[in-house]
Chain A
Amino acid sequence: MAAIYSLFIINKSGGLIYYKDYGSAGRMDTNDSLRLASLWHSMHAISQQLSPTTGCNGIDLLRADTFDLHCFQSLTGTKFFVICEPSAPYMESLLKVIYELYTDYVLKNPFYEMEMPIRCELFDLNLSQVVQKDRVALLAR
């Protein structure tokens, strides 16, 4: 697994509940990250409208010149998306692992309020272990 630049988690109404930057030059302040998350939520919905066939679930992968964006939407409408290097492999499985961590450390936390920003230490800890592991693999090449 390659390293990622950043991770966003959006709740089902489009509000940003988690943003973590892993060393990109384009680090953003809170307002910008909030705006971008809502923008992504709307565009994800619009892309479903423009589908030529039925059964579209929105954008899974966006490819740009300098980065790729992988998105995973859970059945409840929560979206997880990562910004990574172009053609980075195994991003789909990374998103599934992050989803598992979310269900374990955020949703099962009795003090966590639904749709609110995530402030769970264990989630941060385990998340940084998962992503840090990737960075180490990258440096060891």
Chain B
Amino acid sequence: MQFFSGSTSTESSLLPAAPPGTGAGGPGNNAHMLYIFNRAGVCLLYREWNRPLRTLDPQQDHKLMFGLLFSLRSFTAKIDPTTAEKGNLGVPLLPGQGCSFYSFKTNTYQLNFMETPSGIKLILITHSRTGDQREALKYIYNLYVEYVVKNPLYVPGTPIQCDLFTKNLDQYVRTLI
């Protein structure tokens, strides 16, 4: 199977996405897309394995995704039924402050979310019936730490272009059920 990366670097043009049918139905390939954002909302990585429908162009899509997560975090912190003391709805939240959601499900996909204390947000979109992916996201974060953060040539805050990282990521995602 060929995996094409959707890098968000402004210089390079988008490589064509995997042709329809290569990802769907393959054994163990349950993931649709992966996004990695940093604190400022810069999309560090967008990886696509199986996406038949693309409603917006990539820049808009990333902004929409980041905006949705930002609002959802404010929403969950405010609607939390177990704490009485909550800030106002529009206040930006620090990573780890307030109750955070880790997953939501629709009839066609499931979005799994993880935010690290440094503000790195990992979003994994999978098929609707996958189980809890928190461990998978932790593993992917470890891959990020090993292959990206510890790479002396990587400039933090810029899109990720580390071959080892994407190779290991693809290999790992293929094993996800």
- In the bound complex, residues from chain B placing their C-beta under 8 Å from that of A64 are 76, 80, 99-102
B76 to chain A, nearest CB (A): 5
Asked if A50 meets B107 with Cβ closer than 8 Å, knowing A24-B81, A69-B79, the reply is no
A68 to chain B, nearest CB (A): 9
B161 to chain A, nearest CB (A): 24
Minimum CB distance partner of B107 in chain A: A57
- In the bound complex, residues from chain A placing their C-beta under 8 Å from that of B99 are 64-67
Contact B102 A63, beta carbon cutoff 8 Å: yes
Contact with A along B31-74 (1 / 0, CB 8 A): 01100000000000000001111011000010011011001101
B26 to chain A, nearest CB (A): 15
- In the bound complex, residues from chain A placing their C-beta under 8 Å from that of B89 are 32, 35-36, 39
Contact B107 A24, beta carbon cutoff 8 Å: no
CA distance A57 to B65 in the complex (A): 17
- In the bound complex, residues from chain B placing their C-beta under 8 Å from that of A62 are 72, 76, 101, 103-105
Contact with B along A53-64 (1 / 0, CB 8 A): 111111111111
A38 to chain B, nearest CB (A): 10
- B residues within 8 Å of A by Cβ? 32-33, 50-53, 55-56, 61, 64-65, 67-68, 71-72, 74-76, 78-84, 86, 89, 99-109, 111, 125
Pick the residue among B50, B53, B78, B106 that contacts A36 (CB under 8 A): B78
Among A40-48, A103-111, A120-128, which stretch is in contact with chain B? A40-48
B25 to chain A, nearest CB (A): 13
Q: Which of A18-36 contact B (CB under 8 A)?
A: 24-28, 32, 35-36
Pick the residue among B32, B33, B86, B105 that contacts A59 (CB under 8 A): B105
B75 to chain A, nearest CB (A): 5
- A residues within 8 Å of B by Cβ? 5-6, 24-28, 32, 35-36, 39-40, 42-43, 46-67, 69, 83
CA distance A38 to B76 in the complex (A): 14
CA distance A50 to B74 in the complex (A): 19
Question: What are the 9 A-B residue pairs with the smallest beta carbon separation, nearest first?
Answer: A24-B81, A5-B81, A64-B101, A52-B32, A62-B104, A52-B51, A56-B108, A61-B105, A66-B82
